[in-house]
Amino acid sequence: MPAEAHDRPAEQFNLRLRRYDPESGEAPYWDEHTIELEPHRSVLEAILQAKDRFDGSIGVRCSCRQAICGSCGVRVNGEPALACHTHLDAAKASAKDGVIEVEPMGNMPVLKDLIVDMDAVHWKKIQRVTPWLIAKQPVPEREYLVGKENMVDITQSMACIQCGACVSDCLAMEVDPGFIGPAALAKAYRFVGDPRDDQQDIRLKDLAEDPQGIFDCTHCFKCVEACPKDVNPMGQIMRLRRIAIDDQKIVDKNNGERHEAAFTTLVKDYGLLHEAELLPRSYGGNSWFGKFHPAAGKELLSSLPVVLKGLLRGKVNPKLALFGHKLPAADLKQVQRIYDTVEGREQRYELNLYITGYDEVEETPVPGGATSTNGGVSPAATTASGGGESPPAAPETEGSAS
Amino acid sequence: MPSHDVLIIGAGLAGQRAALAAAETGASVAIMSKVHPVRSHSVAAAGGINAAISVDDDWRSHAYDTVKGSDFLGDQDAIEIMCSEAPKEVMDLEHMGVTFHRNEDGELDLRAFGGASMKRTAYVADITGQALLHVLYEQLMKHHETVERYEEWFTTSLLQDEDGRCCGVVARDVRTGRMEVLKAKNVILACGGAGQAYKPTTNGLIVTGDGIAMAYRAGAPLMDMEMVQYHPTCLVETGILITEGARGEGAHLLNAEGERFMEKSAPNKMELASRDVVSRAEQIEINEGRGVGPGGSGIFLDVTVVPRKRTLEALREIVNIGKDFAGVDITREPIMIRPGQHYIMGGVKTDVDGATSVEGLYAAGEVACVSVHGGNRLGANSLLDTLIFGRRAGEHAAARAAHMSSPSFDAGTQLRRDESELEAIIARSRDGRRVSEIKNELGETMNKHAAVFRDEAGLQGALETIGRLKEETAKAWIDDRGTVFNQDVLGALELGYMVDCAEATVLAAIERKESRGAQYRTDFPERNDEEWLKHIDISRGKDGPEISYSPVTITQWQPEERKY
């Protein structure tokens, strides 16, 4: 009950802030403060108390205090978060020594203390995806008539507050700083999924052909966990892939489309991934004969150092990699049944937190959006092209070419 | 030195709309904001935007509702302009890319809102402000060649030539601390209200009355400053806003006895009466001991009566707010709320094109007072206000610039004055009070005495306190001695702005000896059209604030008793 939430007395919390003064010529350092607040108050309120009472020079961007302006993206105990959206008790619980550590976000240069240069990274990447509507012509006198579910659908990517939390933790970007990245690609979906946009095909072709585009994402789920608004950036990237491959039939020069096809075929045939077959099939053609194609041989050769390194470090089991995993026949059948069900649908189901897909019956499980705080995917689903309400569906296997 | 036809200060909805409108005419335009544009507080507007777009609606009905909502203090010529231009404006935004939610036929869906005689609020879930702001910013990115952006630049003062004409600003690049003069044929203030003069408030930490105070200091009168809106549904502890959209979708307000108490004061509109009426009704329940929660200081907002799927789809943001900021699942249990400071109807007095009485200076959005909101703003009319009058100010300022030569004046003096003022703040010895302490006392004072209910004694006490705080502000000290992102020194300037705004509010509230709209005087509980159907203007005189009056423009709706 709310009464209990408001009744908890103030407690002391220890805060360890990463400080950096670009004018001092000195290296970044840690700065500790003890603050007093109720445990359900936010890390931002704690920083502001330290700033108000002890040291006004602590640099932190903030404004709304309610997770809508997107200013206060930081890392709390190493994980990206909005400071205003992280409760002190939770932050204390996840701290390694009971002291709540707050650092600036990653993947972006630090300007001062907790303030990073978002223009240099985040906004530059947003610019990359032509971030405005290219409206279908002629423009109607009144509103464009579009499906109800279409607008609810793109509201999920519209709900992005540009806080940079996903950019901070993107592993692909860490390896390849040129990767367009989760926030900008989620923004791209906002246009690709918008029926009023006239250049769906051009946008998709561009993002598929760019070696740092939609196929550069490695499916690590970090951005999904990082997002404080449940935008599910990786999910938006996978939707861009599905539309590019299945609807627009784009075969990209990065081999993204062929790689996905090889991946899903192998899982369908073997029940689990057959590592040794994946690479030759991705480059040489999606069949057993793929490995005899010259392109496959070339790619295999160039990948040898990585393969050897994997073997040496014990990350690859040579027997399993070469001969594939063996599933009991009954289990394999179950896997193939998933394929039959998903591929047998007339329309693709897509995950969307705004469309719950079913109504308010008490027995139904609580949709993910209402309970998860970390952007967990909801069991809700809708069809990509809108239309009527969809029944609940199991989340699709990522990369499935249904 | 940069020079522009139109320089806009503030990059929320009014500012961005003004920039796009001015740029469309071919004028040279720049927009400056102390934060990145998408952080502007317009982002927090949730519920929607009003426009008579339904086939069975008429803008006159919208205008009448607005006049009635304003408790007949709104200027009807301005209200007619706002409401008649609303449908086209909403369509223009839709064409720009705003993802308005649709009905089953694919047309814009409309939801009910307070004080409206029919459903006329277009919306994007409950993130309408965010969607509008981000789509306008998409357009600014698109038009980056015609609109220059100064992001994270703080305006320290307005520049005026010998004849008092506004001809630019002095500003500080927050990132580097460098101060610069920007010349402009016209300056449009679009930097929001002054909610941070109150504590708690729904407003963000950046909403510190900068524009209101700068215009006042430049000689422009402020109008309707006593009219401060308390929103009926704010979280008890933090003041965070729960959108009126919740009641628009059917949520109830309940007191400790489980009674829908709005029956008593608004038997027809119930929870969807205008905000001043609902906030007063709630405060009466709390004051008379029928409040809920610790100390009986709250009211229950019951969203569980709204179908669950609808709540998750159309009120998703407040589902999250309930969970994250109050620990309540609003789809399963009522949430405790109370009235909280939300909006200032008053501001810099402008005409219907946004022009202030200072030549070359415009204002639009919450910083301005046209006055379309009069004594009380209707929900979902503020987004409309920002867009309509932002656009009009942008167009008008650009047209004025077209037949003007570049201003010539000595800007060096003001630049040096501002530079040394900031240096002096940074160098202050620690014998006064901290900026944060003074800000807290100001906010608590305002929330106690210039709130839902007011009286002479409380207001006079507040005025005295503000006088003292003003002196303390002049000596307040800070910690940060640096130049890069010195937010501390900017906080000291913001405090000065807030104190000026608070003083104007309290003075006007003392002056208006009646109850109208958001101003409820327990010592003058009746509306008194004979004496007080007029605006209170406050200007900066030689020896402090000076009070004068201006008439209310009435076109077709004579004042009548207000019933909901």
Catalytic (active site) residue B247: yes
- The model's pLDDT over A40-73, given as tens digits with 9 standing for 90+, comes to 899 999 999 999 999 999 999 999 999 999 999 9
The strand pairing partners of A53, in sequence order, are none
**What strands, in cross-sheet order, belong to the sheet with B252-254?**
B228-235, B335-344, B299-302, B252-254
**Pairwise CB contact (< 8 Å): A155 & B125:** yes
Of B231, B373, B454, B527, the active-site residue reads B231
The whole-angstrom separation of Cα B46 and Cα B246 is: 10
Q: Which of B402, B427, B503 is CA-nearest to residue B462? A: B503
DSSP string, B469-528: HHHHHTT-B-S---STT-HHHHHHHHHHHHHHHHHHHHHHHHH--S-BTTB-BTTB-S--
pLDDT for the residue numbered A314: 86
Given a cut of 70, whether residue A368 has pLDDT beyond it is: no
Flag whether residue A28 sits within 8 Å of chain B, measured between CB atoms.
Answer: no
The whole-angstrom separation of Cα A388 and Cα A270 is: 36
Given a cut of 50, whether residue A215 has pLDDT beyond it is: yes
SS3 B108: strand
Q: Which of B95, B107, B190 is CA-nearest to residue B136? A: B95
pLDDT for the residue numbered A395: 38
Flag whether residue B324 sits within 8 Å of chain A, measured between CB atoms.
Answer: yes
Which residues of chain B are under the pLDDT cut of 70?
Answer: none
**Pairwise CB contact (< 8 Å): A65 & B99:** no
**Pairwise CB contact (< 8 Å): B99 & A155:** yes
Residue that the structure tokens 């229950």 belong to? B300
pLDDT for the residue numbered A7: 62
| Position A400 confidence tier, pLDDT thresholds 50, 70, 90 | very low
Name the residue ranges covered by the structural domains of chain B: 3-227+343-402, 232-340, 412-527+534-546
| CATH tag, B3-227+343-402 | 3.50.50.60
Flag whether residue A64 sits within 8 Å of chain B, measured between CB atoms.
Answer: yes
The whole-angstrom separation of Cα A157 and Cα A162 is: 10
Residue of B104, B127, B323 with shortest CB distance to A159: B127
Structural domains of chain A ordered from first start: 7-116 (3.10.20.30), 119-247 (1.10.1060.10), 256-383 (no CATH)
Flag whether residue B134 sits within 8 Å of chain A, measured between CB atoms.
Answer: yes
Report, at the CATH architecture level, how domain B232-340 is classified.
Alpha-Beta Complex (3.90)
SS (H, E, C) chain A: CHHHHHHCCCEEEEEEEEECCCCCCCCCEEEEEEEEECCCCEHHHHHHHHHHHCCCCCCCCCCCCCCCCCCCEEEECCEEEEHHHCEHHHHHHHCCCCCEEEECCCCCCEEECCEECCHHHHHHHHHHCCCCCCECCCCCCCCCCCCHHHHHHHHHHHCCCCCCHHHHHCHHHHHCCCCCCHHHHHHHHHHHCCCCECCHHHHHHHHHHCCCCHHHCCCCCHHHHHCCCCCCHHHHHHHHHHHHHHHCCCCCCCCHHHHHHHHHHHHHHHCCCCHHHHHHHHHHCCCHHHHHCHHHHHHHHHHHHHHHHHHHCCCCCHHHHHHCCCCCHHHHHHHHHHHHHHHCCCCCEECCCCCCCCCCCCCCCCCHHHHCCCCCCCCCCEECCCCCCCCCCCCCCCCCCC
Q: Quote the tokens at residue A23.
A: 């004018």
pLDDT for the residue numbered A392: 37
Q: Which of B126, B237, B324 is CA-nearest to residue A81? A: B324
CB atoms within 10 A of CB A97: 8
| Surface of A (185-204) touching B: CB under 8 A | 190, 194, 196
- The model's pLDDT over B68-103, given as tens digits with 9 standing for 90+, comes to 999 999 999 999 999 999 999 999 999 999 999 999
pLDDT for the residue numbered A74: 98
- The pTM (predicted TM-score) of the whole model is 0.93
pLDDT for the residue numbered B309: 87
- Give chain B positions within 8 Å (CB) of A139: 95
**Pairwise CB contact (< 8 Å): B480 & A57:** yes
Q: How near does any CA of chain A get to the CA of B96, in Å? A: 7
CB atoms within 10 A of CB B106: 17
**Pairwise CB contact (< 8 Å): A6 & B94:** no
The whole-angstrom separation of Cα A28 and Cα A51 is: 18
- Give chain B positions within 8 Å (CB) of A148: 101-104, 106, 109
The whole-angstrom separation of Cα B241 and Cα A289 is: 63
Quickly name the fold that domain B412-527+534-546 has. Answer: Methane Monooxygenase Hydroxylase; Chain G, domain 1 (1.20.58)
- The model's pLDDT over A299-331, given as tens digits with 9 standing for 90+, comes to 888 888 988 898 899 888 888 878 888 889 999
| Surface of A (70-109) touching B: CB under 8 A | 70-71, 85, 87
| R_g of chain B computed on alpha carbons | 22
- Give chain A positions within 8 Å (CB) of B109: 148
Of B41, B111, B120, B247, the active-site residue reads B247
Residue of A56, A71, A146 with shortest CB distance to B39: A71
Flag whether residue B122 sits within 8 Å of chain A, measured between CB atoms.
Answer: no
pLDDT for the residue numbered A356: 53
Given a cut of 60, whether residue A2 has pLDDT beyond it is: no
Q: What is the mean predicted confidence (pLDDT) over A368-388?
A: 35
Residue of B326, B478, B483 with shortest CB distance to A5: B326
Flag whether residue A134 sits within 8 Å of chain B, measured between CB atoms.
Answer: no
Residue of B39, B175, B312 with shortest CB distance to A69: B39
DSSP strand pairing (B368-369 vs B347-349): parallel
Flag whether residue A300 sits within 8 Å of chain B, measured between CB atoms.
Answer: no
Q: What are phi and psi of B521, to 5 degrees?
A: -100, 115
Q: Which residue of B34, B124, B176, B205 to mutate against A (max A Cβ within 10 Å)?
A: B205
Q: Which of A278, A290, A130 is CA-nearest to residue A210? A: A130
Any idea of the CA torsion for A211, A215, A217, A218, to the nearest 10 degrees? -110
SS3 B334: coil
| Position A6 confidence tier, pLDDT thresholds 50, 70, 90 | low
Given a cut of 80, whether residue A162 has pLDDT beyond it is: yes
- The model's pLDDT over A79-138, given as tens digits with 9 standing for 90+, comes to 999 999 999 999 999 999 999 999 999 999 999 999 999 999 999 999 999 999 999 999
Q: State how far the alpha carbon of B558 is from the alpha carbons of A336, B67, B276, B372, B553, in Å.
A: 74, 10, 20, 16, 10
Size of interface A-B (CB pairs under 8 A): 216
Residue of A2, A194, A354 with shortest CB distance to B327: A2
Q: How near does any CA of chain B get to the CA of A41, in Å? A: 8
Q: How near does any CA of chain B get to the CA of A47, in Å? A: 13
Q: How near does any CA of chain A get to the CA of B130, in Å? A: 8
pLDDT for the residue numbered A354: 65
Q: What are phi and psi of B325, to 5 degrees?
A: -115, -5
Residue of A5, A63, A142 with shortest CB distance to B41: A63
Average pLDDT, chain A: 86
Q: Which residue of A142, A160, A189, A192 to mutate against B (max B Cβ within 10 Å)?
A: A142
The whole-angstrom separation of Cα B251 and Cα A304 is: 64
Half-sphere exposure of A238 (CA within 13 A, CB side): 25
Catalytic (active site) residue B535: no
Residue of B44, B53, B434 with shortest CB distance to A66: B44
